[in-house]
């Protein structure tokens, strides 16, 4: 059976599919035998092969891919426990996959947490915005605020946990994730903001300073809203109203006539 497992894994890798989605004909061809011979060795159905693949430490699939299940499971755990409380064992248990599968797909815990950040963080929305930017500075600033607010409100709520870890452990996984993806983040921001600096519409401040002025007050407000809402009740502006206020304040601070 080991040779059949190896053939199934090789065929799945070549086709970019889960083992369960690879036709028996393709597995047989990789093993150098006919489909009928393969079925005879398996006892007439593929279930023994899928079980043998599972026993070898690889999820044969037939469900959403391990990558999708693991990212969803890890995101839920991040929201519940914070980044420090997420272990590969817990993710494997919730995603119903094996530890070797997680190591194969993500190359460790940091790789998995990075995939969670990329899916639930602001980067996809920012890059989509940079690919199709608004027509004026005011709309661009408001769109950037809304993109970051949406990332913080996305369920499960990964971003608050990322920032909590960032503030608590400057050398922790959140810091490593941010450092790894800052070039992409600033590339998107640069494509949106640098043309307005060149056109004389924005003060020529360094891009990191412009970014901190842009997102710092909003992120601080979103993180504190759970405390502010009970204290101020109806006196606290809605999140949408707050976004408009922060955008107007930013424009007054850095926009030029």
126-136 average pLDDT score: 95
Q: Render pLDDT for 151-198 as a digit per residue (tens, 0 to 9).
A: 998 999 999 999 999 999 888 889 988 888 999 999 999 999 999 999
- What string of DSSP letters covers 77-121? HHHHH-GGG--HHHHHHHHT--HHHHHHHHSSHHHHHHHHHHHHS
Q: Render pLDDT for 54-94 as a digit per residue (tens, 0 to 9).
A: 888 887 776 677 888 899 999 999 999 999 889 999 999 99
The pair of structure tokens assigned to 16 is 């970019």
The verdict on 148 and 237 lying in the same domain is: yes
The verdict on 130 and 99 lying in the same domain is: no
The verdict on 23 and 77 lying in the same domain is: no
Q: Render pLDDT for 12-45 as a digit per residue (tens, 0 to 9).
A: 888 888 888 788 889 999 999 998 888 888 888 8
Residue 231: CATH number of its domain: 1.10.357
The β-bridge partners of 202 are: 255
Q: Is residue 61 part of a domain?
A: no
The verdict on 36 and 133 lying in the same domain is: no
The verdict on 171 and 216 lying in the same domain is: yes
Q: Among 144, 245, 229, which Cα is nearest to 186's?
A: 144
Q: What integer pLDDT is reported at residue 53 of this predicted model?
A: 87
The β-bridge partners of 255 are: 202
The answer to whether the CB of 80 falls within 8 A of the CB of 164 is no
Identify the band that residue 214 occupies on the pLDDT scale cut at 50, 70 and 90.
very high
The answer to whether the CB of 95 falls within 8 A of the CB of 70 is yes
Q: Is residue 60 part of a domain?
A: no
CA distance 1 to 79: 42
CA distance 139 to 200: 17
The verdict on 128 and 39 lying in the same domain is: no
The verdict on 143 and 220 lying in the same domain is: yes
Q: How far apart are the first and last CA of the chain?
A: 74
Q: Which domain holds residue 172?
A: 121-254
Chain-wide mean pLDDT for the chain? Answer: 91
Is the dihedral angle over the CA atoms 67, 72, 73, 74 positive or is it negative? positive
Q: What integer pLDDT is reported at residue 111 of this predicted model?
A: 92
Q: Render pLDDT for 143-159 as a digit per residue (tens, 0 to 9).
A: 999 999 999 989 999 99
Tell me which of 192 and 233 has the higher pLDDT: 192
- The single residue listed with the structure tokens 């894994």 is 9
Q: What integer pLDDT is reported at residue 138 of this predicted model?
A: 96
The verdict on 110 and 224 lying in the same domain is: no
CA distance 19 to 12: 5
The answer to whether the CB of 255 falls within 8 A of the CB of 202 is yes
The verdict on 150 and 250 lying in the same domain is: yes
Identify the band that residue 2 occupies on the pLDDT scale cut at 50, 70 and 90.
confident
Q: Is residue 247 part of a domain?
A: yes
The verdict on 104 and 187 lying in the same domain is: no
């Amino acid at each position: 059976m080991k040779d059949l497992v190896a053939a199934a894994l090789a065929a799945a890798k070549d086709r970019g599919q889960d083992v369960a989605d690879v036709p028996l004909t393709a597995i047989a061809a990789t093993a150098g035998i006919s489909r009928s011979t393969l079925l005879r060795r398996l006892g007439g159905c593929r279930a023994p092969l899928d079980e043998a693949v599972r026993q070898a430490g690889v999820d044969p699939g037939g469900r959403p891919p391990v990558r999708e299940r693991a990212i969803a499971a890890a995101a839920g755990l991040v929201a519940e426990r914070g980044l420090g409380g997420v272990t590969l064992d817990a993710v494997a248990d919730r995603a119903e996959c094996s530890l070797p599968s997680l190591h194969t797909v993500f190359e460790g815990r940091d790789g998995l947490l990075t995939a969670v950040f990329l899916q639930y963080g602001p980067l996809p929305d920012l890059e989509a915005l940079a690919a199709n930017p608004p027509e004026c500075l005011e709309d661009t600033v408001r769109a950037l605020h809304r993109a970051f607010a949406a990332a913080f409100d996305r369920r499960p709520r990964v971003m608050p946990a990322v920032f909590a870890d960032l503030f608590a452990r400057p050398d922790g996984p959140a810091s490593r994730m941010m450092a790894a993806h800052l070039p992409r983040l600033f590339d998107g921001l640069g494509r949106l903001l640098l043309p307005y600096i060149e056109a004389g519409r924005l003060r020529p401040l360094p891009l990191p300073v412009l970014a901190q002025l842009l997102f710092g007050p909003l992120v601080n407000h979103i993180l504190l809203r759970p405390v502010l809402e009970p204290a101020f009740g109806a006196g606290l502006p809605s999140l949408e109203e707050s976004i408009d206020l922060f955008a107007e304040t930013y424009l007054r601070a850095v926009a030029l006539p």
